[in-house]
Amino acid sequence: MNPRPRRLKLLRWLPRSLLITHGPAADGSVYLTFDDGPHPEFTGPLLDLLAAHDAKATFFLVGDQIERSRALVERMVAEGHQIGNHSFSHPRFGHLSMAERMAEINRVERLLTAFDGRENHLFRPPRGELQLMSLLHFLRHGRKVAIWSYDSLDYSHPAPDEIVRLMRKDSPRPGDIVLMHDDGALPSEVLRQMLPEWRAAGLRFPALPSGTPVRKP
């Protein structure tokens, strides 16, 4: 298990205006991010855990999940987390036309803006699949795409202790964007052990900067 595969290292060389792979590293900041939620069973306990450790995160939300769990999104915003765009139905973007991709993204944008008043939220493509034409389109329209630099590999469903061993061997570093998923109990089980250790090591956990102001009424 490798949390820093070669592909992630290569992506760091792309200009930040095209792709965000790291956050600001000042003050030992590490950026927890969660994809595929909100989940009606697992996201609430995860929010409880983050609150207990004064940790903020960025949640890349799927539109059809938002519509089922609006109260969880309201709670995320109220507790100081960032919400981001992860498409409406989590399709394979490589199989869609540009118009179909943008329809997926724009539908979620309208949902997210209703919660936090922001426009042009950070976007993370489903499965991290990147298409150059999409990136250039986002660049022309002032949108930002955020990937990750540290992969927890939780989607491969290893035992929690296996991820804990991995994270102790190769811990996230200041500036890292950590990929996790809140559609299962595994992240909470892992972070219940790791957050106190990371805090003791001097790491802190802000949300990713959104880069966009709240829209004026």
pLDDT in the model for residue 13: 78
Strand partners of residue 57: 32
CATH architecture of 23-200: Alpha-Beta Barrel (3.20)
Q: Is 151 tagged catalytic? A: no
Closest among 7, 35, 24, 19 to 179, alpha carbons compared: 35
* DSSP codes of every residue in 25-83: -GGGB-EEEEEEE--TTTHHHHHHHHHHTT--EEEEE-HHHHTT-HHHHHHHHHTT-EE
* Tokens standing for residue 88: 């409406």
What share of the chain has pLDDT > 70, as a percent?
A: 97
Per-domain boundaries in the chain = 23-200
pLDDT in the model for residue 217: 46
Q: Is 181 tagged catalytic? A: yes
SS3 116: helix
CA distances from 74 to 27, 148, 169, 175, 185 (A): 29, 25, 36, 27, 21
> Tens digit of pLDDT for each residue in 126-158?
988 888 888 888 888 878 899 999 999 999 989
Strand partners of residue 111: none
> Tens digit of pLDDT for each residue in 4-45?
877 777 777 777 778 899 999 989 999 999 999 999 999 999
Catalytic, out of 35, 36, 116, 182: 35
> Tens digit of pLDDT for each residue in 57-77?
999 999 999 999 999 999 999
Catalytic, out of 116, 181, 182, 183: 181
Report, as an integer, the average pLDDT of 92-112. Answer: 91
